[in-house]
Structure 1
Amino acid sequence: MSKQTGRKSILASFASYTPQQNEAEAPNAAGEATTSSSRVAGVIGATQRTLAELREERDELKALVAASGEVELDPETVDPSPFPDRLNDDDDAEFEAFKALIASEGQVMPILVRRHPADPARYQVSYGHRRLRAARELGLKVRAKIESLDDRQLVIAQGIENSARQDLSWAEKALFVTGMDSAGVKARDIRAALAVDDPELARFRSVCRAVPEDVMRAIGRAPKAGRTRWTALAKSCSDGDAIARVRETLAAAKVSKSDDRFVLALNAAAAKTRRKAETVTVADDSGRKLGIASFKPTEVKITFNPSVAPGFADFMQSELPALVERYKTTRDS
């Protein structure tokens, strides 16, 4: 079995393991688990270790999660993660089914929260946003585990949960990488959290540099638009004109599906702006008209009156090499 396989088993076990209260290790009075978050975060660096060590730390992680206590919180006291990993859904049908399941069977898995850094009476979610929303809309308390997490630990835990779910779109993962970069999370921890390699991490970053965040959010999840098509959009958004066309197109779009919005954005970015030919009158220093020059992005056309400007065509032809050299000097300077 490879190290890669071992890493994925850790990610999967973290997200899928159903915690049970350990009677010998209850949460403190504030409801916070006494587990050391540094020990949990240490598992993230295990990708460089032996398979035996990976298995040992996987078992330790499961035990730590099992020992974490649960509390019931008022959903109105819980805020979203400062690093959102979800774009707007195309419709709420799937969520309504999920909410109906919680209404009939209850919340199976707790969410993970931390105390809000700016308000100790409130909390921030690491993962479990849909469970929190369902509880809020149903008027129920939300079951939660409270951990002491800094920004780095919060996004790593969030990324582990995302990897196990495997239902985030490519764009959502790319934006989440940007959030982790902003939080100062190291590349090795981002790779471990999302189970991606260096080339994929580089592609996430490259697309987010080329395609503005407001454009990506206006498009939405676009689950059918994977890495190849997002990379194509990034290449097409190489200048401000292309981005302006995309923004204008999305603002006027009447489609409800994010995949359809992506297609509109891709076509708008790839479209070439047609420019009318610019016409200039060619005259000598006395103002006498010699001819007309017409300029297009890929064509220059000059017509002249041979009776007024005899030999002008031969002159232009002889001057072309010097013009090319002047052009090269201008481009290189």
Structure 2
Amino acid sequence: MSRRDRLKGLFDDTAQELAAANLDEDGSTRGPAGPVRSMALTLGRMEEESRAMQQALLSGERVVELEPDAIDMSFVRDRLADMPRNLDDELVHSIGENGQEVPILVRVHPDDDKRYQVVYGHRRLQAVRLLGRKVQAIIRKLDDVDVVIAQGIENSARRNLSYVERAVFAFNLESKGFERPLIMKALSTDKTELSKLISVAKAIPMDVIVAIGAAPAAGRRKWLALAQGWTSATASRLRTLLASERFAREDTDRRFDLVVAELARKPEKQEATEFDWTPKQDSKIRGRIRKTGDSCTIALKTGDAAEFGDYLSGRLDELYDAFRNVK
């Protein structure tokens, strides 16, 4: 099969995958979503990468062997899947029997010219490291923006990032100061879909996302629903479940289901607790705080109650932001 035919097959497979991504869980077609709206961009970027690789070969770029211990991870995380940990891992076993068929892409480390940094191929690097071999790699001169785009191209071509991994990747990029147009290019998505991705990673605490894992079967709609219903009380309700051995033993998709089931379960009715509040400075104002389950009420009486209530009401956004920042 010629290179041109292989490339055409890759494009056809990607188009079918993106079309499938536009189906709801019952198999019906929903309105145009981020994956389909960005199909042309994805295929165009893959074609650009193919041309760039051909140009690289013509310019003498070649695969070299490097010591795995001289290579560091990428500066931005793009997946939640565990790295191979032992020789029983499927990828390790495959490379052990067949050799490393696909080279990884690295750049010279920006802070140490004697080391390298992975652009993509983290799992292959770890597998080769466990086998005690040198890793096949292509060294390319790339800046941070190039790295982000290259990671995005590789993930678009392989479609190996789950929805929440895409969300975390987008959130991490924005947190590092990258502009949204660049993130859209890296993820082959549009402005609306990118906002939804980032909203998921912002709403759900990162330790919870890591505990659940990639959950590829959960998909866009389920992660968005979980994020939209997330509150501070949600994390408290999940604390026992996330720390349990049973939860840790399950695969990532089952862990997502357990989280959803726990949040859907009607919690046991909790006894209300009440206490009084008075300011440290001498004042006639009095407060009564009542907490039960996931609700809390504050009642102010006498003295400056009305004026103080207005003061609090006018600063609720500011106080809530301060509360979120210290969590």
Deviations 1:238-280 (A, max 9, x none): 2x22112223321125132111221222334455653225699
Q: Does 1:11 align with 2:45?
A: yes
Asked if 1 retains the 8 angstrom alpha-carbon contact of 2:87 and 2:131, the reply is: no
TM-score by length of 2: 0.65
Query: Partners in 2 of 1:7 and 1:197 — Cα distance?
Result: 10
Query: Partners in 1 of 2:193 and 2:87 — Cα distance?
Result: 29
Residues 4, 210 of structure 1: alpha-carbon distance in 2 compared, 3 angstrom cutoff:
closer
Asked if 2 retains the 8 angstrom alpha-carbon contact of 1:152 and 1:184, the reply is: no
Query: Partners in 2 of 1:173 and 1:95 — Cα distance?
Result: 28
Residues 190, 3 of structure 1: alpha-carbon distance in 2 compared, 3 angstrom cutoff:
same
Deviations 1:49-77 (A, max 9, x none): xxxxxxxxxx4x24334333322101111
Query: Partners in 1 of 2:65 and 2:274 — Cα distance?
Result: 74
Q: Report the CA distance between 1:152 and its aligned residue.
A: 2.3
Q: 2:171 aligns with which of 160, 169, 178?
A: 178
SS at 2:113's partner residue? strand
Number of residue pairs matched by the alignment: 249
Query: Partners in 1 of 2:110 and 2:238 — Cα distance?
Result: 37
Structure number with greater Rg is 1
For 1:230, the equivalent position in structure 2 comes to 223
Q: 2:150 aligns with which of 157, 163, 167?
A: 157
Q: 1:245 aligns with which of 230, 237, 240?
A: 237
Query: Partners in 2 of 1:295 and 1:178 — Cα distance?
Result: 34
Q: Report the CA distance between 1:219 and its aligned residue.
A: 0.8
TM-score by length of 1: 0.64
Identity %: 38
Q: Which amino acid aligns with 1:113?
A: V
Q: Does 1:260 align with 2:254?
A: yes
Q: Report the CA distance between 1:228 and its aligned residue.
A: 1.0
For 1:74, the equivalent position in structure 2 comes to 67
Query: Partners in 2 of 1:182 and 1:249 — Cα distance?
Result: 29
Query: Partners in 2 of 1:13 and 1:155 — Cα distance?
Result: 17
Comparing both chains, which one has the higher relative contact order based on Cα–Cα distances under 8 Å and sequence gaps of 6 or more? 1
Q: How does 1:1-333 map to 2 (within 5 A)?
A: 5-13=39-47, 17=50, 59=51, 61-66=52-57, 67=59, 68-89=61-82, 96-238=89-231, 240-255=232-247, 256-270=250-264, 273=267, 274-277=269-272
In angstroms, what is the RMSD of aligned CA positions? 3.5
Q: Report the CA distance between 1:186 and its aligned residue.
A: 2.2
